[in-house]
Amino acid sequence: MADLDLRRILDLGRWAPSGDNTQPWRFRMTGERTVEVLGSDTRSWCLYDYRGIPSYMAHGALLETLRIAATEQHARMDWRLRDGCEETAPVYELEFEPVDGLVADPLLPFIESRCVQRRPMGASPLTSAEMTALVDAAGLDYIVDFRTSGGERFAVARLLWQSARVRLICPEAYETHRRIIEWGARFSKDRIPEQAVGVDSLTARLMQWVLADWKRVDFLNTYLAGTVMPRIQLDFIPGLACAGHFLIRPRQPIRSSLNHVQAGMAMQRVWLSAARLGLGFQPEMTPVIFRWYVQDGQALSARAPVNAAAVAVAARFNEVWALSAEAPAAFMGRVGRGAPPTSRSLRLDLDELIVDDKQVRTEAGQ
Ligand SMILES: Cc1cc2nc3c(=O)[nH]c(=O)nc-3n(C[C@H](O)[C@H](O)[C@H](O)COP(=O)(O)O)c2cc1C
């Protein structure tokens, strides 16, 4: 029986994307061919991790990455979600099995280089071969819609502009914004480094100063149109400067957390395929997330105007993507041309992600 290097598989798996680089997972090596992924989420402090859905999607991205990583050693990976887990602490049981003749997945070389491009990208049109590759990567259970013409990109940029205002005037989002950026950094192991955020350094300095205190944010928003500069740089210009926007939506309604995990697997295949095509890629999840709140009739904020603005974002989203209010949507993003970013998020070291039994018991308070 061929030996498997499980650490190598997990080491590659670490590069899976997660919302704000939160890496909501730990690994427990339970045997020579078995691993448990201990999932978690950030809903207790992150407004965007609505019902833990983005974290479930990140778990899916991780599982898909581990599956692809295993093909380097000609192994297949089977997994199951353990029955009866807490909703906020899903455990995925993984088993690897060498298979004669199993070839390396073509997406394998892109696991580590795949990353977010938040800056403006080249807008030369996507070829039909590129679009087909992205649609195929999502798989048969998903529809991938594109918005690529100048007029369509303008409409999406307007949606992003509107959604970004909600993000910036919402006091409940402040804690997230304060926590997730590593200021002054080009690389960050557990957050988003400043230089990957997508603003110039002057705006970054202003953001850093303002984000130190919610009162400053509120004052700037109220009296100095404080949302305008970041929205132009982070949302409106990138919304225009790309080859197109896309929406991945499931053919069937989403019924369980497992369906979110599956959507995350599709997202990661599309993202890795974009990397394989040499395309830059950025998720655009805030309008999707605000629409989830609205679809469930959940308030985003204690401030009524913020909730009213979220309802308007959801309506605009439906208009842009020609969807009914109830239609499920999993993942929105943009792709474009150009050199890869010079700044990116890194990951926690593998040894920081591997836990032993004692740690698991301590973290669970036992
Ligand atoms: C479910 C999900 C949602 C995300 N939403 C956004 C988003 O709305 N905007 C954005 O710029 N990046 C978004 N990201 C990208 C993460 O911030 C990024 O993957 C993480 O910081 C790690 O960086 P890397 O992908 O460059 O390695 C999202 C990622 C995931 C998995």
Task: Give the integer Cα–Cα distance in Å for 245 and 281.
Answer: 10
Q: What is the per-residue burial (b if ≥16 Cβ within 10 Å, else e) of 331-354?
A: bbbbbbbbeebebbbbbeeeeebe
Q: Who contacts 276 (Cβ-Cβ below 8 Å, separation ≥6)?
A: 106, 107, 109, 110, 133
CATH of domain 128-340: 3.40.109
SS3 279: coil
- Given a contact cutoff of 8 angstroms between Cβ atoms, the answer to whether 10 and 25 are in contact is no
* Token digits of residue 38: 């201990």
Ligand 1 atom with least separation from CA of 57: 1
pLDDT computed for residue 366 by the predictor: 47
- Given a contact cutoff of 8 angstroms between Cβ atoms, the answer to whether 81 and 94 are in contact is no
pLDDT computed for residue 221 by the predictor: 80
Q: How far is the CA of 271 from the centre of ligand 1 (A)?
A: 11
171: β partners? none
Ligand 1 atom with least separation from CA of 289: 8
From first CA to last CA, the distance across the chain in angstroms is: 38
Tell me how far apart the 2 most distant CA atoms of the chain are, in Å. Answer: 69
pLDDT computed for residue 228 by the predictor: 84
Q: How far is the CA of 222 from the centre of ligand 1 (A)?
A: 29
Q: What is the dihedral of CA 249, 253, 259, 264, to 10 degrees?
A: 10
Query: Does 6-113+345-363 carry CATH code 3.10.20.30?
Result: no
Q: How far is the CA of 17 from the centre of ligand 1 (A)?
A: 6
Enumerate the CATH 3.40.109.10 domain ranges in the chain, comma separated: 6-113+345-363
pLDDT computed for residue 252 by the predictor: 96
pLDDT along the chain (366 residues), means of 10: 89 98 98 98 96 98 98 98 96 98 98 98 98 98 98 98 94 91 96 94 88 87 78 93 98 95 98 98 98 98 97 98 98 98 98 81 52
Helix axes 6-13, 53-70, angle to 10 degrees: 140
pLDDT computed for residue 357 by the predictor: 65
Ligand 1 atom with least separation from CA of 284: 8
DSSP E strand stretches across 186-286: 187-188, 192-193, 244-250, 280-283
Q: Which of 116, 119, 237, 271 maximizes ligand 1 atoms within 8 Å of its Cβ, making it the mutation to test the pocket?
A: 116
Q: How far is the CA of 53 from the centre of ligand 1 (A)?
A: 13
Residue type, 6: L
User: pTM higher than 0.85, yes or no?
Assistant: yes
pLDDT computed for residue 358 by the predictor: 58
Q: How far is the CA of 73 from the centre of ligand 1 (A)?
A: 28
pLDDT computed for residue 217 by the predictor: 87
pLDDT computed for residue 209 by the predictor: 87
What's the chain's length in residues? Answer: 366
Minimal-distance CA residue to ligand 1 atom 4: 19
* Token digits of residue 53: 């859905």
Ligand 1 atom with least separation from CA of 285: 8
Pocket of ligand 1 (CB under 6 A): 17-21, 54, 57-58, 61, 115-116, 118, 192, 282-286, 344-345
Task: Give the integer Cα–Cα distance in Å for 258 and 63.
Answer: 12
Minimal-distance CA residue to ligand 1 atom 29: 19
Ligand 1 atom with least separation from CA of 286: 8
pLDDT computed for residue 1 by the predictor: 54
Name the one residue in this structure whose structure tokens are 């949507």. 329
